[in-house]
Amino acid sequence: MKKGDSSTATIVPESGEDQLLSLVTPAVHQEEVDSKLEVAREQLLTLRRQQEELERQKGELEELRRKQEEYARGRTEMIDNLTRGLVTIEREQMQAQRLAELCDKTSTAFRDYLDQLQSINDEEWTSATVRSELSAALATIDNARMEFNRARTKLDCLNPGAGQPALPVAETKPEGIDWDELTRWMLRGAAASAPLIAAGTIWLTILLITRR
């Protein structure tokens, strides 16, 4: 140290205790840092686990919401569909019942007229009954034709084509006596009476000869 210098520096040698503290302090700081770092790592790991759990819960809630929306939409849709379907089925069922009743009634009428027509035995008609029998037969035919035409207007199955309007059978009204048919029966009567006429003619001729 120079003499006369106004400022002096004094170097105090470190004691043994100070030297020990200077060596221990860095080690203490390192352990504290390591401890805090470990705590931070554990907290981060916990946060990650919590995030994963929250993500899982989020996915489950989204799936639940999707199913709830699907349920509400599907329930409304099927209620509407089933309601309309029931109305349609009931309407079709009522129409089917009316059709069944109409078919049953028409079938009974057809069988009745068929029996009437098949029971006509024109071979048994005589010259005396041909007029009345012929008129009755024609009336039965006309009634059967009218019944058939009425049925065709109500039952598509009796029409020639599906969805096509029915073509009614032409109705004919009797225009007097069928002379061809009457002539045929008169000839039959004449043929049956020919032996009697011949016998009468022979008897009359013999009677006239004997009187002469």
- For 187, the token pair is 């000839």
Q: Among positive and negative, which fits the CA dihedral 49, 52, 58, 64?
A: negative
Phi-psi region of 176 (alpha: psi -120 to 50; beta: other; left: phi over 0): left
- For 139, the token pair is 């009336």
Q: What is the pLDDT of residue 26?
A: 61
- For 95, the token pair is 């129409």
Q: What is the pLDDT of residue 3?
A: 43
CA distances from 198 to 170, 183, 192, 208 (A): 47, 21, 11, 16
For the question of whether the overall pTM of this predicted structure is more than 0.75, the answer is: no
Q: What is the pLDDT of residue 35?
A: 85
Q: What is the pLDDT of residue 147?
A: 93
Please tell me the distance from the alpha carbon of residue 11 to that of residue 14, in angstroms, as a whole number. Answer: 9
Could you give the count of Cα atoms lying within 13 Å of 158 in the half-sphere of its Cβ?
Answer: 19
Q: What is the pLDDT of residue 92?
A: 93
Please tell me the distance from the alpha carbon of residue 144 to that of residue 115, in angstroms, as a whole number. Answer: 11
Q: What is the pLDDT along the chain (212 residues), one digit of tens a residue?
A: 444 444 444 444 445 555 544 555 666 678 888 888 888 999 999 999 999 999 999 999 999 999 999 999 999 999 999 999 999 999 999 999 999 999 999 999 999 999 999 999 988 888 888 889 999 999 999 999 999 999 999 888 888 765 555 455 544 444 455 556 556 656 555 555 555 555 556 655 665 666 55
Q: What is the pLDDT of residue 11?
A: 46
- For 166, the token pair is 């029915």
